[in-house]
Every structure is written in structure tokens, then in C-alpha cells.
Amino acid sequence: MAPTTSVHPGACPLDCPDTCTWQLTVTDGRAVALRGDPDHPFTRGALCGKVNRYLDAVNGPDRLTTPLLRVGPRGAGPVAYRPASWDEAIERVAAGLRAATDRHGPESILPYYFAGTMGFVQGWTMGPRLFAHLGASRLDTTICTAAARAALGSLYGGSVGFEPESIVDARLILLWGANPLSTNLHHWPFVRQAQQRGAYVVTIDPLRTDTAARSDEHLAPLPGTDAALALGLMRHIRDVGGADREWLAAHTTGWDLLEARLDRWPVDRAAAECGLDPDLVRRLGARIAATRPTAIRIGYGLQRHAGAGQAVRAIAAIPLVTGDFRHPGGGALAGASGHHRIDPARVARPAGMPTPPARSINMSRLADALTGAADPPVTALVVFDANPAATVPDQNRLRRGLTRADLFTVVLEQRWTDTCDYADVVLPATMQPEHLDLHTSYGHHYATLNLPATVAPGQALPNTEIFRRIAAALGLDHPRLRDTDEDLARQLLHGSGLRYEDLVRNTYARATGVDVGTAPYAAGGFPTPDGRARLHDPRLAAHGVDPLVGYTPPAEAGDAELARRFPLALISPAGRYFMNSTFASLPWHRDRTGPPRIHLHPVDAAARGLADGDRARVRNDRGAFLATVAVDDATRPGLAFTYKAYWARLSPGGNTVNAVTAVRDTDLGGGPTFHDTRVEVEAASAGACGGDSRGDGADLPR
Ligand SMILES: Nc1nc2c(c(=O)[nH]1)N[C@H]1C(S)=C(S)[C@@H](COP(=O)(O)OP(=O)(O)OC[C@H]3O[C@@H](n4cnc5c(=O)[nH]c(N)nc54)[C@H](O)[C@@H]3O)O[C@H]1N2
Ligand SMILES: Nc1nc2c(c(=O)[nH]1)N[C@H]1C(S)=C(S)[C@@H](COP(=O)(O)OP(=O)(O)OC[C@H]3O[C@@H](n4cnc5c(=O)[nH]c(N)nc54)[C@H](O)[C@@H]3O)O[C@H]1N2
Ligand SMILES: [Mo]
């Protein structure tokens, strides 16, 4: 019989601002080819390198295909598990959750989830809905954008900014703490188009990334000092007459106070704080003052520091001072999610479904929550769409929590990960070609519907179906716990102006009230109660934060005392071929990325007698990880870097960079401070890692 082939449009589910629309070719039920949809207005066809190989993940021999119950010791890998039927596995989960509730109440259950899929159906609706109804602890989802969300919520009234496609009209573009060539690839052609029309592009990043190398200018401040730089720039802009006083008066509050503060931030002070030549700061300030429109694309890298909240506020204040929001292509953008009118929280806790009050637990503090700080203790953990054993800070302490004898852990996963090593029950989950989902985007203004196109391998089920079965096994009979995936998608779209039927027909649609190429805040109208942007926000005092835009210095990176013992600041930004820890086990992606490396400036490598290719131990008081030395002048003396999100079980010594990162909150939002870390690096003696080191993952299929 001739093979049958069909093409199915869908959405890339990964945690990336781009949310590509793709076209999946299915032959005889198997996903065989994937390409970008060339007609999508923002993502325009090409997928990124890592997602070109997404089908390696879908069709991989390591897909989980049956529920697994632990019968051996934790940490021993898949050999410690036996296959089970769904009925037996779900019964086991229900029994574990009941036991936790009987002993310490429902708040002893913690769901832990993030953006393994950005789809709201499989991600942030049915799972949170079930746990909210149970009265389990709520998860404060801080691990990624909490500081920016809080900062922008204060300053602009929400995660809003310039219309992403309008950046083609900018005459000056600042890429600030962002590396779009690795992490926001589909915005880059718009930046290039602006550059070809004569825009001047400046990257502000402690590292000379590919993005920095392709910019017209690169400023490399010390990590965690961006707010000081922003204050120095605003001071110079003001001094050369670049403040748009009319616009400031009409559409902001607090300019008088900020202007007084700028008096105390001469460029020389700001530049000294940032480790920059003051003339470079003055030159950039003068350029901003003279160039309309200026677009500032704020990335997430600068957010992973103790002073992240003030950093985002201060940077996002610059276009308020210059009046840039008057113009298409002017303003700042750290995330576009606030423009979308689809709210998963509303669907997670639907009207009419009882949800007992419950405490919140900050996900970035998971190591704390599992090692005694929580009362009642967390005794049942249900993980989905995340791999916390690799991705949260203070890995050694986290691991002590995950191996607690009285902790019952369930992991819903597509493949065996670091976190599965600690599970009592592992449940096989579907991937994007196999389930329904609905996506917005944090980098553009389109929503995308993804319909199932293939059948899942073995017995894998969508998260939603797993939660429906858990609810039934717990005897919960609220009808909202039986909603189908299509019901959930329709509920998400309710009130958004988009119709499910239209998305079934057209896959994607513009999902916000903002037109392409327009300036949504030209005449103010920010989503604050009075429509004004808040340079001064009295509500912040209650959180112990300066109500006025200002500077919070870094915690470890700027600590001279600590620097005596741990002389190198360490940052761990995104690599190109992994997506957080997703793909980190796949052969093609691993080969492209190489082993964990510690990149050292030639001066720092020489001072330690380290050369390219040497095995090194990177350590501080919290732990250590092993890495191969890469001597690299893309960084500056005193600053080391490594890429985030290798798997621990596949890393030499069994630890990742998160063995040295700290549990510590950003000044606003309770976010993590991954990039605000100090370490020492030394030649590694064989096997010396200092953590609870485990195998090299030899039992994983390769
Ligand atoms: N290929 C790929 N793409 C991804 C991801 C991935 O893992 N791989 N992750 C996704 C996720 S979850 C996110 S949140 C985004 C993150 O994407 P980005 O916003 O690009 O964030 P990072 O890669 O953490 O950091 C960006 C840059 O900030 C710099 N940086 C670090 N500290 C500072 C600082 O103090 N000041 C300044 N000015 N710059 C600093 C880093 O050197 C880095 O080059 O990307 C998403 N896209
Ligand atoms: N040192 C350091 N650490 C960091 C960062 C850093 O910059 N430096 N960045 C942080 C950031 S920005 C983020 S966002 C976090 C991300 O950290 P995590 O939220 O842990 O994200 P991933 O590592 O990508 O893990 C997602 C998992 O979800 C699974 N998954 C995907 N889709 C589904 C599904 O439909 N169902 C189920 N059940 N599972 C699914 C994937 O297989 C994958 O294993 O990491 C943080 N960790
Ligand atoms: Mo993230």
C-alpha cells in the first residue's frame, strides 16, 4: 500500500519568546519532518537549530512509554523501577497524596511545574486546577521572569512594551542583557532590518556574545550593575537636554523625585560602579538623547541578580525620560505577555469551583521548602513540565530534600531526567505532536493552536488526562475536573476576542489589541490605574524596596570580602542547542554543545595554571561541579561563565552549575539569582566534586 502522508500545522512548545508556528509531516502515523511555517508574520519559516532536530526527542528510543513504580533505591536510575499499568500507578499516586493529606493536611502537597511546555492546556490549567481544588500549596512561579514581571508591573502596570515588529522603525537599538542570536532568534531579522535601514545597534552584556559581535557597539558592564549604568545614562540624557519633559509630565509620576536622584548619579560614579570607561557611557547617553526612536530590548540575563528588580525598572525608565513611547519602534520591551488577553490563572481556578485558601511556595526556593523550612513540611511533590533536579539553585541541598525518606514524589515526564531519579512514581507524558495545546507568546503578539497529529508511543498520556485520572482516583467529582483539552482551550479563549473554530482553521491569530508597527503608549494609557507610568511607586516600600527607581548592588558579584576567597564572579546563561535542560540528553544536541565548560579569561586561566582542555573543579561554600577549561577572551578578567542546564546525571562528578548557585531572592518578585555567584576554579583531582556525586549516566540510551 502506498504510504499516507499529511501535513499538520502546530506550535513549538518550548520556553522561548518566539513560539514558532511549524508544519509537521506525518507519514503512516509517524512524525517524519518538521519545518517552520513560512507564512507566520513573526517567525517566518526557519526554525532554530535545536528545534530543527525536535523529532529526535519525539521519536527517541528513550521516550517513556509506561508508568513506572520505584522498587529499588532512589538515585539508582531506571533500573530501580518496574513497569505498571495506569490503574495501578494512578492508585499509587492517589494513595501517596491521601497519606500526605491525612498526616499534615493538603498544604503538604506541592505541585512543581514550569514551562517545559509553554502550552496553557498541558501546562498551567488542569494541573494547577486539580491542586487548587485539593487545597495543596500553590506554586509561586518565580524561576524565570519574576523580577521583570514585578518591575514592569510596578513601572508600566504590566509586562508590556513596544510592539515587537515595530523595532524595524527604531534608529537606535539597545540589546540589554539579551542574546537574541541564541535565545530569541526570530526577533533578530527585525533588528537586522532596522540596522540595514541605518539603525545603530548596541549590545550591553558582560560577555562578547555572537549578538554583541554583530552589533555596532558592545558595552561590557560588571554583572549586576545595570541599574547604575541606566542611572548614569539618564543623568547624561538629562544633562544634554534629552529629557522629554512634556511627555514625562503628561504620562508619568515621580519624575521630580527621579531627577533629584540623578543629581547624585554623575556619569563618573555610574561608570565606576559598572567597570566601564565614563566616556563610553557619556557617548551612549548622548546618542540616546539625540536618537528617536530608540528601542531597548531587555533580556533575562540581567535579571538573575540580587538587584534585578531595580535593574529592569531603571532600564525601562529610560524611554519614559526620552519620550520614546511616542514613536513606533520606541520604548522598552522585556516581555510581551501582558498584551495577550488569555489568562491561564482564570482557567486554573474557574468560577464556581471551590479552592481552599493555601500558602504559596516560591519555586526558586525549592531546596529550602524540601529541607525543613516549610511548616507543614512538604511531604508530597508532583513535578510536571520541569526538571528541578537540574535547574533550581543549591543542587546539593535540593538533593538532600529530594532523598528524604518521608517525601513522596511523582514525576510526569517524556523521558528519564535527573528529577525522575528521585521519583516514587514516573508517569509517561505525551509530546507536542501528540496532544492539544494553546499558546500565546512572551516575544510577539500571536496565539497558536496545536492539534494532535500523531498517536503517542506506548501508553503515554497528556498531562491533562493524567490529572483527570488522579482526580477521579481521589474521588473528586467536580465537573471542571473532567473538562476535555478542547474545553480548556475554549475556556482560555473566552473573552480574548479569538474563536476556537478560527484557530482550528488558521492555526494562529493576532491575539492582542495592538496593531503591527504601532506605538501603543504614544499618548500614555499604560495599564496602571491612572494610565501613568510609575517612576515612583509607594507600594514597593511594603516589600522593602525603594519606591523610587534606583540601584540595588549585586549580592555576591559585588562582595569584596567574599571575593578574597572566591575571586571569580560566575554567570550561567543559555546555550544555543539546549533549551534549559530540554535536549541535554540527546546525542545531536550534546555533540553540538560539548561537555560542561568553564570559560575563563586568559588572565584568570594563566593565574591558575589552567589551559584549554584541562579538567577543572569550580567550587564555593555550597558545592562544586567539574568542567573543561575553555580559555576565552569573550569575557573579562574576574568573570567566568558556563552554559546553564546540563543534566547532573550526564555530567562528570554528577553535579551541574546549580551546585554553586544560591537560594536568594531578587530585590523584587522573589526571583532566583543564578548569575550572582562567586566561585574559585582549580585543577581537578580525579573525581573530586564535593557534592553527592553519582554516575555518569551510562545507563541512559545514547
Ligand atoms: N537556545 C536557547 N534558547 C533559550 C533558552 C535556552 O536555554 N537555550 N532559554 C529560554 C529561557 S527559559 C529564557 S528565560 C530565555 C533567556 O534568554 P536571555 O534573555 O538571552 O537570557 P540569558 O541567556 O540568561 O542571558 C542573556 C545575556 O545576558 C548576559 N548577562 C548576564 N548577566 C548580566 C548582567 O548583569 N547584565 C547584563 N547587561 N547582561 C548580563 C549574559 O552574558 C547573556 O549573554 O531564553 C530562552 N531561549
Ligand atoms: N544556573 C542556571 N540555572 C537556570 C537558569 C540559568 O540561567 N542559570 N535559568 C533558569 C530558567 S530561565 C528557567 S526558565 C528554568 C527552567 O527549568 P525547567 O523548568 O526545569 O525547564 P527544563 O529544564 O527545560 O525542563 C522541562 C521539562 O519538562 C518536560 N516536558 C516538556 N513538555 C512536557 C509535557 O507536556 N508534559 C510533561 N509532563 N513534561 C513535559 C521536558 O521533557 C523537560 O524535562 O531553569 C532555570 N535554571
Ligand atoms: Mo526562563
Q: DSSP for 360-413? A: EEEGGGHHHHTTT-SSSPP-EEEEES--HHHHSS-HHHHHHHHT-TT-EEEEEE
CA distance 379 to 41: 47
Chain Cα centroid distance, residue 384: 15
Cβ-in-10-Å burial (0-12, 13-18, 19+) of 336 comes to buried
Question: Which pLDDT value is given to residue 695?
Answer: 37
Question: Which pLDDT value is given to residue 697?
Answer: 35
Question: Which pLDDT value is given to residue 373?
Answer: 75
Question: Which pLDDT value is given to residue 339?
Answer: 96
Question: Which pLDDT value is given to residue 321?
Answer: 98
Most ligand 2 atoms within 8 A of CB, residue of 149, 184, 364, 581 to mutate: 581
Ranges of residues in the chain with a pLDDT under 70 are: 686-702
Nearest ligand 2 atom, CA 411: 38
Query: Which residue's C-alpha cell is 508619568?
Result: 252
CA-proximal residue: ligand 2, atom 33 (nearest):
385
Q: What is the dihedral of CA 34, 35, 37, 42, to 10 degrees?
A: 120
Question: Which pLDDT value is given to residue 686?
Answer: 54
Question: Which pLDDT value is given to residue 364?
Answer: 98
CB 107 within 8 A of CB 358: yes
By DSSP bridging, strand 380-384 and strand 109-113 are parallel
Query: Which domains are seen in the chain, by residue range?
Result: 5-58 (2.20.25.90), 68-144+371-510 (3.40.50.740), 147-334 (3.40.228.10), 560-683 (2.40.40.20)
CA distance 452 to 454: 6
Tell whether ligand 1 has an atom less than 6 A from the beta carbon of residue 226. yes
Among left, alpha and beta (phi > 0; psi -120 to 50; other), residue 564 is alpha
Residues 6 or more apart whose CB falls under 8 angstroms from that of 366 comprise 112, 388, 392, 398, 401
Tell whether ligand 1 has an atom less than 6 A from the beta carbon of residue 186. no
CB 235 within 8 A of CB 265: yes
Residue in 691, 427, 681 with CA at minimum distance from that of residue 566: 681
Residue in 27, 53, 28 with CA at minimum distance from that of residue 579: 53
Ligand 2 lining (C-beta closer than 6 Å): 15, 114-117, 122, 143-144, 300, 304, 384-388, 390-391, 412-415, 417, 429, 463, 572-573, 579-582, 644-645, 657-658, 661, 674
- Tell me the CA–centroid distance for residue 14 and ligand 2, in Å: 9
CB 394 within 8 A of CB 622: yes
Q: To which H or E segment does residue 570 belong?
A: strand 568-571
pTM for this predicted structure: 0.97
Question: Which pLDDT value is given to residue 76?
Answer: 87
Residue in 611, 609, 600, 676 with CA at minimum distance from that of residue 638: 600
Most ligand 1 atoms within 8 A of CB, residue of 300, 583, 656 to mutate: 300
Query: Which residue's C-alpha cell is 547624585?
Result: 264
Most ligand 1 atoms within 8 A of CB, residue of 141, 179, 667 to mutate: 179
> Using only C-alpha atoms, what is the Rg of the chain?
25
CB 555 within 8 A of CB 563: no
In sequence order, the β-bridge partners of residue 201 are 173
CA distance 305 to 223: 8
Q: Which ligand is nearest to the CA of 303?
A: 1
CB 179 within 8 A of CB 643: no
DSSP H helical ranges for 621-660 = none
Question: Which pLDDT value is given to residue 691?
Answer: 42
CA-proximal residue: ligand 1, atom 41 (nearest):
301
- Tell me the CA–centroid distance for residue 563 and ligand 1, in Å: 24
CB 469 within 8 A of CB 90: yes
Residues 6 or more apart whose CB falls under 8 angstroms from that of 163 comprise 328, 445, 514, 515, 516, 517, 518, 519, 520
Polymer length in residues for the chain: 702
Query: Which residue's C-alpha cell is 478560527?
Result: 502
Buried b (16+ CB within 10 A) or exposed e, 29-53: eebeebebbeebebbeeebbebbeb
Query: Which residue's C-alpha cell is 486546577?
Result: 129
Tell whether ligand 1 has an atom less than 6 A from the beta carbon of residue 335. no
Residues 6 or more apart whose CB falls under 8 angstroms from that of 329 comprise 162, 166, 167, 168, 169, 170, 171, 194, 293, 295, 519
Chain Cα centroid distance, residue 338: 16
Residues 6 or more apart whose CB falls under 8 angstroms from that of 499 comprise 493
